[in-house]
Structure formats: C-alpha cells, structure tokens
Amino acid sequence: MKRAGKVVLLAHCILNVNAKVDGLATVPAGCTALVTRLLDEGYGIIQLPCMEQLCCGISRWGQVKEQLDFPAFRRRCAQLLEPIVDQTEDFIRNGYRVCGVIGLDGSPSCGVNETCSGRWGGEIGDGYGLEEKIPTLHPVSGSGVMMEVLHMQLAERGLSLPFLAVNETDPGRDADRILFQLKESFETKKGEKENL
C-alpha cells in the first residue's frame, strides 16, 4: 500500500480561491505553491468549508470577525464541521497522522494567528458614515470564528492538532514554513505512536 498516512485540514480558499471575497484573490484558481507541495510530500487534504460563502454568498462584501461572531453563525460552523471532525477522529483512531490545520491569517473565519476587526456594518452609501468606518478596520491577534469553533470541537474529543496559517495576501510564500512545521508535527506524532 502506497499511502503515506498523513492528512491535513486546509482552509477552503487555499484550494479554491473562487470562494473568496471578490478582489482578494491573488491567484487564478488555488494556491498551487502550497497545494502541490502538500500532495508531493504525501499529505492527503481535507478541505474545510467556506463558511462565509455558505452563509453570505459569493456576492458578499468583505467582513470583520465581529460581524460573524454571533450564535447562529457559530452554530452553523459547528454543524458543517462535525463530519470533518468525525473524519479526523476516524483517521487518528486508525493510525493515520492528522498533522495539522492550515488556515488563512487575515480571515474573519479562517484566521489562526490573526483576523480582521473593526466597526464595520450597516449601509455603505453616502451619508452612512463610511468614511469613519474604514479607518477602524485593522488586523488583530486571534483566530477567526470558524477556527475557534473547530478548535473547540477537536478539544471536546481530546484531539490536539497544530493550527498553522498562511498569509491571506500571499499564501504561496509560506509554503516552505508550513511544510517544515507539518514535518515536525508528523515526526512528533510518529514518535508518540512508536512509544505506545
């Protein structure tokens, strides 16, 4: 059997940039620099859902974490992530190494180390204070809403995975770092398995 037994969970738009907010895509289809390297290195890929497209559609405006951080959005994240967490647990129980979750820093849903914040919402036309709202938009430390929910669901099952991230403006440039971190995670999990 040629299976490498390695798996990663990957933010949706790293494989399919068409789901991103219009104007944010820096490549035509997906981040080939990272995805090709993952496949070449023997990692199977579980694509996470794009919660923003599923809940707000492809014609949505750019959003900040505060707009997505409400009970119904979190509940929908949990519903759509549950089968992915089931699959992750099944892989682990059967000796596979799920080496990490790769998110997209800067995203209000998929950010890992950094997300976006601001006083954003309401009407955007003349007379609605758009000029005052734009300067409030800024990156902040912390995870996006979906990544918070995923982390909680994994923890509830006793599953601990490293959460890694590429930068939203140039996900390809982080490929070397991500692959190095995944290799470290794989070697650690391999050592833990051998010591059982």
Closest CA to 43 of 52, 51, 34: 34
CATH tag for 6-57+71-115+141-194 (out of 2.60.40, 3.90.550, 3.30.70, 3.40.50): 3.40.50
State the average pLDDT for the chain.
87
In the chain, what are the domain boundaries?
6-57+71-115+141-194
What is the distance between the alpha carbons of residues 101 and 103, in angstroms, rounded to a whole number?
6
Q: What is the DSSP string of 164-191?
A: EEEETT-GGGGHHHHHHHHHHHHHHHHH
Taking CA atoms, 68 is separated from 55, 72, 147, 171, in Å, by 10, 9, 12, 23
160-187 residue pLDDT tens: 999 999 986 676 678 888 999 898 876 7
Question: Given the DSSP bridges, would you call strands 97-105 and 114-117 parallel, antiparallel or unpaired?
Answer: unpaired
What is the distance between the alpha carbons of residues 159 and 148, in angstroms, rounded to a whole number?
14
Stretch 120-148: mean pLDDT, rounded? Answer: 86
The alpha-carbon radius of gyration of the chain (Å, integer) is: 18
pLDDT at 149 > cutoff 80:
yes
pLDDT at 28 > cutoff 70:
no
Q: Which residues contact 48 (CB under 8 A, 6 or more apart)?
A: 9, 10, 11, 12, 81, 84, 101, 110, 146, 150
